[in-house]
Structure 1
Amino acid sequence: MNEQPQRNGGDLVIETLTALGAKTVFGIPGQHALGLFDALSRSSLDFISSRVENNSAFAADGYSRATGEVGVLFLSTGPGALTSLAGLQEAYATGVPMVVIASQIPLDGLGARRKGMLHQLDDQKASAANVTKFQQTVHHASGIPSAIQDAWARAITVPMGPVWVEVPQDVLLAPVMVPPVQDALAEAYPHPPREELIREAMRWLADAKRPAIIAGGGVRRAGAQAELLAVAEELQAPVLCSPGGNGAFSWDHELSLQSWAEDRFVSEVMEDADVLMVIGSALGEVTSNYFTLEPRGKMIQIDAEPRVLESNTPALGIRADAREALKFLDEEMRATGFKAQASWHGQTPQQVVAQTLAKVQGRLDAQDLAKERKFMADIRAAVPSEMQTFWDMTIAAYWGWSCWDAKDGEFHSAQGAGGLGFGFPAAIGGAIGSKQRVLAVSGDGSSMYSIAELATAKQHQAPVTWLIVDDGGYGILREYMEGAFGKATATELARPDFVALAQSFGIPAQAVEPEDIGTALAEALKSDGPNVIVVRTLLKMFAPTHL
């Protein structure tokens, strides 16, 4: 009879995560985390081994975005933990729920400078303080289940985000006599709006002749699309989606201003509103058209993150989950027999929306952008309506923020923190989590941040089509510098033969001309496993609309 291995602190980590509903874990093994990974071998959890910890963080982020579940990330001590921070910054800025389990040096070295202790940091969790909601070090194996359960609850409580739990090496290896963790419950703390604030907002909206709505990523994360639709129709209010909110409101709805937040014509509609309601958005740099948006009417701002309320524009700030607040508004409107009074200087809101979108298209028609517009349209036509897409900080993504109709899928980009390298590893996580093919879009510069993950995609046969738009450098920075200084410096890049490199990993790859991207994508998206398409072309941005 085979003797069962002695359970230890690592087993408690794995058992608790499993009881909380985790199915997949991302990360890279490390010396101080070996007890954790040994316990992983005795579990049903799937482990996705990335090649760089930053990309592991992006993958866990993409998994969470694609599935609506909590992303789980395992990190080793010191260099491994630090390497993940840029990826965690994106999750933190965008409000993606993640639980990070990091190893630590043994307990007797904490807070000391033990000579020769590999990977040691003076205060590891302090390094994560700027990019996670919460940090904790567990000092006893018996405290592991409660620590992880509490952290999970914090991760899913709005404003959602990553949380950090670190467990020293000897605590992971410590034998435990307690029985296996059978169940664990982590519930989000509710954040309903305060009634007097919602009722004050109702009074403003009842008198509004020109109400308008900006819907941010908080609407999407709250799953509040139906509630937003109901309130917008009751108010007869035009709706603009921020880049993070793209998909919160139907692109084709007669009240939809789509996502043209960087367009001056759209900004003018928002400024002309006598009541502007901003939901789930900080009204930050891009959504405010680079801080040029100056509402002339009253503003209501609803957000789960109290720090963003009224941070850029005076407003009636309401701290609340977007869905809870919109549901409350909808119920109040129905209960009070609310009647919309919308009249935009003698025009209907539908007429204002149609005219504004026509002006947007006219502005684009006046610029030499035929190649860019066709390129983006061809990609959109080739991608199935339900497919999720993941975009790096590249010129194609900057276009996508404004012109990409998410349809029945989801549009994911790294505009929260704006770091490079998000697209491909996040897409790997999204594809593994959703078990559906996804599209990743990168530039040649950003693709080099995550090129090692070709090995991960191949190892796990992730159904990802990776489109690399190769313009020979950091294209958007080149354009910014040329516009500001008349010349670009340090933006040009040597790069590999991306097709040959992908093929060396055993991944199908091809180079195509810009005019053939639609056909090539449609074919690649029908394939199994990972594949790569490279397009060499120089794309331009539409002219700044805030000047």
Structure 2
Amino acid sequence: MTHDHDLVLQPTAAQREAALNPPPGRNGGDLVVETLAGLGATTVFGLPGQHALGMFDALRRSSLRYVGLRVENNAGFAADAYGRVTGEAAPLFLSTGPGALTSLAALQEAASASAPVLAISSQVPTAGLGGGRHGYLHELPDQSASFRGVVKSVHTVRAQSQIPSAIAAAWKSALSAPHGPVWVEIPQDVLLAPASVPVVTAPDATPEDLPPRPELTAVAADLLSRASRPAIIAGGGVVRSDASGKLLALAERLQAPVVTTFGGKGAFPWEHPLSLQSWLEDRYTTDFLEDADVLLVVGSGLGELSSNYHTFRPRGRVVQIEADLGKLEANHPALGIHADARLALQALLETVDARTDPEAPARVRALLSRVSARIAAQQLTLEQDVLAAVRRALPAGAPSFWDMTILAYWAWSAFDPRGANTMHSAQGAGGLGYAFPAALGAAAADPAHPVLAVSGDGGALYSIAELATARQYDLPVTWLIVDDGGYGILREYMTDAFGEPTATELHRPDYVALAESFGVPGVRTTPETLERDLAKALSTPGPSVVVLPAVLRMFAPTHLG
């Protein structure tokens, strides 16, 4: 009797020929790029360094496209965005020690946002491992220890025969729900030695499914079917699992209003009659969600931002669907369903009873009207006009990437992304410098469409070097820099808390002249001409910079009832 798991795939004639007659000049680095190509990778991000040169030399003999950035952290942000927009694992090549460590902030953001980044770093030669006393350049006592608390999994290689399996295991880990960054490290001598392993042709790394337990979805379906005031919070897990269509179908069947978290922007249509949009920093929205007798939370851990700074106190029953086990019931008691959002929503669609609630759209309109009136009373027309100009200038479907800046904080709540998986920010970990390098990664994934990056002048200084990358690869990224003379949001925080700011004011360059020195067109705009200048830049091939000198203010949040 033959079982399915007894079957072994046999190599094709071409694979057998490649294995028996490998091309000359292969080294351990070739095993890396062969494995990646076999897994389906097409693009590699990174920055070379002494111990990693074996991998970079192998790129020359491969079909993989290399996009090199100027700072390792920016390369990590680019890989993060590539993973978000494609749903594929994005390879990131790094060198040992300082190069590797410089990527940590980007990998933290990828972990927070569940972006599948496959970081592959070199290590000191095998003889120098373990002690930190051998005096090799870039040597660390335990390099992988620096990453274990950040990435989803760590994979170490000590021999060439381990390379294909380690990378395949890392690939599988990165793409199994919840997606996330993974870490592989390979010593320099293993990368440089002549390859003794046959050409890698067909590695198997199929991601594992994470289906819900049927008894849990049965209870959840019963609760939702019998609810009188159901509501839904949709987080980034809905976007990562490509489940927005199933969310829409379930919300309409239940007549349940939906609010999207800042990480879940675009998971539900903005103008839908059941859309509460994304006004989470608003007590009216918090009250509405607390009043739900059954609250379905999909793909969110209800962290600080999603819970209106932990002021959210649900009074009804909470059903939480979450792929990250550590986030399940981490903040609120719930019927916790550990599952991929797409599979769990499908199970609910198959078992939930349809509800009729003709009053639901009216309750949604009433809430949005109260929110709008609260914002209007704060006389922040400049901020609203600027955000509206950006929305009008950005073509529907074009992705946007937002740094930690005041305009982005507005966008989290007030920007219509016009589609799932189109608006991205660094709100997961909250580091500066995300927008522009991330936009470059998205443009590398799809260079046929324009991409928008939005930064403040403080965050922009983290990423200036990547103007060279944008020009070198002619990537269609328009970078909007809102120049308010410093760290604007920190200026507000400190003024509110202490009466005056400290360490927030910045000397900065002429961003237009600086962009032009890289060969990137730049224009200085005004709030009145922003829409025209931004639209023109987005419609022009290649990179561009639009600078808006403006001091924007945040709307007053409402955390307390």
Give the TM-score range, shorter chain.
over 0.9
Could you tell me which of 425, 433, 440 is aligned with 1:421?
433
Equivalent of 2:355 in 340, 346, 353: 340
| 2:15 match | none
Q: Which residue of 2 aligns with 1:372?
A: 383
**Contact 2:269 2:419 (8 Å CA) reproduced:** no
Give 1:86-165 correspondences, 5 Å limit.
Answer: 86-165=105-184
Q: Does residue 22 in structure 1 map to residue 41 in structure 2?
A: yes
Task: Tell me what 2:369 maps to.
Answer: 358
1:480 aligns with 2:493: yes
Q: Is the 8 A contact 1:509 1:531 kept in 2?
A: yes
Identical columns (%): 58
Summarize deviations over 1:172-221 as a string: whole Å, max 9, x none. Answer: 11222332111122111111111111111122112210000000000000
Matched, 1:32 2:44: no
Q: Is the 8 A contact 2:128 2:134 kept in 1?
A: no
Question: Which residue number corresponds to residue 515 of structure 1?
Answer: 528
Q: C-alpha separation between the residues in 1 aligned to 2:206 and 2:500?
A: 53
Give the aligned partner of residue 412 of structure 2.
Answer: 401
Q: Measure how far apart 1:20 and its partner are.
A: 0.6
* Aligned residue in 2 for 1:79: 98
Indicate the residue corresponding to 1:538 in structure 2. Answer: 551
Please tell me the residue identity of whatever aligns with 2:355: A
Report how far residue 341 of structure 1 moved: 5.4
Runs of 4+ in 1 over 4 A off after TM superposition: none
Residues 208, 341 of structure 1: 8 Å contact kept: no
> Tell me, which stretches of 5 or more residues in structure 2 are unaligned?
1-21
Once residues 202 and 386 of structure 1 are traced to their aligned partners in structure 2, the CA distance between those partners, rounded to angstroms, is: 33
Tell me the distance in 2 between the aligned counterparts of 1:135 and 1:321.
22
Deviation at 1:4, TM superposition (A): 5.3
For 1:71 and 1:339, how far apart are their aligned partners in 2? Answer: 40
SS class of match (2:275): coil
CA distance in 1, matches of 2:206, 2:23: 33
Q: Which amino acid aligns with 1:94?
A: A
> Which shifted more, 193-202 or 71-80?
193-202
Contact 1:27 1:57 in 2 (8 A): yes
Shift of 1:159: 0.9
Distance 1:297 1:406 in 2: 30
Moved more, 175-184 or 268-277: 175-184
| Alignment correspondent of 1:503 | 516
Alpha-carbon distance, 1:510 to partner? 0.9
Instruction: Please give the alpha-carbon distance, in whole angstroms, between the structure 1 residues aligned to 2:120 and 2:96.
Output: 10
TM-score by length of 1: 0.97
C-alpha contact 1:387 1:408 (8 A) present in aligned 2: no
Matched, 1:303 2:322: yes
Task: Determine the C-alpha separation between the residues in 2 that align with 1:195 and 1:66.
Answer: 31
Instruction: Output the amino acid matched with 2:350.
Output: E
Distance in 1 between the 2:23 and 2:249 partners? 57
CA distance in 2, matches of 1:113, 1:500: 46
Kindly state the Cα deviation for residue 66 of structure 1 after the two structures are TM-superposed: 2.0
| Map of 2:12 onto structure 1 | none
Among 458, 464, 479, which residue is 1:451 paired with? 464
Per the alignment, residue 6 of structure 1 pairs with 25
Q: How does 1:49-60 map to 2 (within 5 A)?
A: 49-60=68-79
What letter is aligned with 2:523?
A: Q
Instruction: Report Cα offsets for 1:77-98 as digits up to 9, x if no partner.
Output: 0000000000110001110011
What secondary structure sits across from 2:277 in the alignment?
A: coil
3-state SS in 2 of match to 1:178: coil
Provide the rounded CA distance (Å) in 2 between the counterparts of 1:545 and 1:162. 34
| Paired position in structure 2 for 1:314 | 333
CA distance in 2, matches of 1:514, 1:183: 54
| 1:160-309 mapped onto 2 (5 Å cutoff) | 160-309=179-328
User: 1:383 maps to which residue?
Assistant: 394
Q: Secondary structure at the match of 1:180?
A: coil
2: distance between equivalents of 1:122 and 1:178? 29
